[in-house]
Structures are given as C-alpha cells and as structure tokens.
Amino acid sequence: MASRLTGRPATGAGAASGSPAEVTLDGGTPVMVKRGDAPGAVRAEVAGLRWLAAAGAVRVPAVLGHDERWMVTERVPTGRPGPEAALRFGQGLAKLHAAGAPHFGAAPPGGPEDAYIGRAPMRNAPGTDWPHWYAEHRVLPYVRAAVERGTLRPAEAGVFERVCARLPELAGPAEPPARLHGDLWNGNVLWGADGAVRLIDPAAHGGHRETDLAMLGLFGCPHLDRVLAGYEEVAPFAEGRRERVALHQLFPLLVHAVLFGRGYAEQALTAAQEALAH
C-alpha cells in the first residue's frame, strides 16, 4: 500500500498489522500508513492536514500519498514534553487560529461537508453566528444521537436544550471564525524529538478558538499552563474564558458519549450544568 501511494518501494513493516501501521520505505524512511474508517474520512483528514499546514503556524506530518481509503504520512520521532516546547506550541496554536476560516463550519479546501471527528460523523455546515451554529451543528446532533443510542436519557436532553437557548448570552464576546484542529486532545499532539510539536488526526473546520483550547484541557495536556501562556502572548483571551471552558467542552464530551458510552454522558451533563451556572 505504501509503495503504491508513494511510488517508492517498501522495505519493511512495523510490528502493527492494523491501522495505523509503521512502514519503512526504500532508503530507510519510516512512514505511517492509515486506513480510513468510513467513506470520505481520508479525504477529510488529508484536506485538514494541508489546511493546517498552510497556516505555517504549527507543524503537521507531511502527506506523502493517499487515495479514497488509505493515506501515508511521514513518521514523527517523538520525545518528552517540555515547558519550552509547550510555550512555542501555544504561540503557534494562536497563530493557527488567527489564520481564520471563511465562516463557522467551513470545511478545509477540498474537504467534504460530511466529515468525521474520530469515528463520529461531523457535518461542516456554514453559519455566520457562532452561538446558533454551535447549538445546531456541534451540540444538539450529538444529544439526539446519544438519546437514540440509549447513552443519554430523553429527560436529560433538556439541560442541553437550555444551554443552547442561552448560548447567545453565555458565549462571551463575538469572535471571528478560527482555523481549528477540531479534535485537539492530547493524543493528537505529538511532542517531537526535535522539540517541535506536530498535530495529527484533525477534524479541521472553522469554529471558535476556545473550543480547541477547552478540548486540549479536557483529557490532560502536559505543561498546559505553558501552552496557555504562550497562546496569550500572541492572542490574549477574551474576558471570562475560564468560565466558558465547560460550554466548549460539551462538543467533545457529547461526541465521546455517542462513541463510548454513559460515563461521558454524565460528564457532559455536569459540564452543561456548570455552563448554566455562569
């Protein structure tokens, strides 16, 4: 597969036989080979990586070849997270967000409107008003899906509906659409052996910059305080950001509730109640 997509002979494969898997190309170049989980997933990921790379802010692995179901990217040698790398990452993330998007919900150029976040469908539908767009396309669809799967009880959906009804007042100052990674949990942050961070597995789209930051803090990120300090050096936060973290974490928590079950639904309910308390 790697040979077909890159035009270079493969001389060895890593221990993993699934996806992603490490393969060595002729000349000793290690690459990663990944299979898309659903139609359009590879096209969305490739378009997202290239859109993020075009900002020239935070590095991503180079795409070396792809088709509709498979992609080959460079392998990034990883190292230990450090405070200086974290500070630079925060500065770069601010610049990435500032590169912007045509509108909320914008798909990367060449990317499909019907994309994915992990294995969950994610629709990149356009919007001009973040509170209404976030409610319609990043909260309520996953509430409905969680109810359909039995992960969320029908009576519990009301708390999310109340959050959505109050979003215009809870959202804080209006901001322009940011160029988001879209699935920025720590597992998608590679701390390179060269001291530079790379981002992988994006669900890239135009959104609110605080959503990426909230997701980064949700599952734990090394030296997060340094990441945020670097970010604020470049792009100061709007007043009240900390009070809005739970609001922005609703999206990833509800996605996880759909994919992984009741525990995340309970976390999403807690976050919704916290958002309403402000």
* Spans of all domains in the chain: 76-278
Cβ contacts of residue 12 below 8 Å, gap of 6+? Answer: 23, 24
One digit per residue, the tens of pLDDT, for the chain of length 278 reads: 788 888 888 876 654 445 688 888 887 888 889 988 888 899 999 999 999 999 999 999 999 999 988 999 999 999 999 999 999 999 999 999 999 999 999 999 999 999 999 999 999 999 999 999 999 999 999 999 999 999 999 999 999 999 999 999 999 999 999 999 999 999 999 999 999 999 999 999 999 999 999 999 998 899 999 999 999 999 999 999 999 999 999 999 999 999 999 999 999 999 999 999 98
pTM: 0.94
pLDDT at position 95? 98
pLDDT at position 16? 45
pLDDT at position 24? 87
For the 76-278 domain, the top CATH level (class) is: alpha beta
51 is written with which tokens?
């859109």
What residues are annotated to the active site? 183
pLDDT at position 37? 80
pLDDT at position 269? 98
pLDDT at position 14? 52
For residue 157, the one-letter residue type is: A
